[in-house]
């Protein structure tokens, strides 16, 4: 009975130790994210890079299949945007392998001046203008007029 108590105490101490390490890592990442430099048009840049490489999904490079595209946003403007492709190969469950490989890297300034990105921003702006100018809400509105028939 005494051995069970000792084993439980050791497991509890190990669990608390790993929990404490995890909590420290969480706060370090949270502080890094809160202190990062907010980039100009970062949402549009992220969308552009995802859109630019989404055609690679479910394609093969040799025996490896590309299963995901990840865009890594930089913490400052002098660091690059990095696009990773997740590649899988092998037979599950014996030797199923997966790795992230850098596919594309570009600095924020280069991305801001990239001709394709400028065209992409223009397409987004025209879609936003079309959405604002189209009066589809008037077509779907409810008729709130009252009619009273007095005889």
List, for residues 66-119, the tens digit of each pLDDT value. Answer: 999 999 988 888 889 999 999 999 877 778 889 999 999 999 999 999 999 999
The rounded mean pLDDT for the chain is 85
pLDDT at 143: 57
pLDDT at 135: 55
Separation CA 143–CA 151 (nearest Å): 24
Longest dimension (CA), the chain: 96
pLDDT at 30: 84
| pLDDT exceeds 80 at position 27 | yes
Strands 97-107 and 60-61: unpaired
| pLDDT exceeds 60 at position 52 | yes
16-45 mean pLDDT = 87
89 close to 63: Cβ distance less than 8 angstroms = yes
pLDDT at 84: 96
The residue with greater pLDDT, 127 or 24, is 24
Residue 49 burial class via C-beta count within 10 angstroms: exposed 0-12, middle 13-18, buried 19 and up: buried
50-67 mean pLDDT = 92
């Amino acid at each position: 009975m005494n051995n069970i108590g000792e084993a439980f105490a050791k497991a509890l101490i190990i669990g608390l130790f790993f929990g404490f390490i995890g909590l420290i890592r969480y706060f370090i990442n949270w502080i890094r994210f809160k202190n990062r430099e907010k980039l100009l048009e970062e949402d549009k840049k992220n969308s552009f890079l995802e859109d630019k490489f989404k055609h690679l999904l479910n394609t093969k490079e040799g025996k490896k299949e590309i299963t995901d595209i990840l865009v890594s946003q930089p913490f400052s403007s002098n660091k690059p945007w990095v696009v990773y492709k997740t590649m899988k190969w092998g037979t599950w469950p014996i030797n199923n392998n997966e790795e992230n490989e850098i596919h594309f890297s570009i600095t924020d300034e280069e991305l801001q001046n990239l001709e394709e990105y400028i065209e992409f921003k223009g397409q987004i702006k025209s879609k936003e203008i079309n959405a604002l100018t189209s009066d589809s809400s008037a077509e779907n509105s409810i008729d709130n007029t009252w009619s009273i028939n007095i005889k």
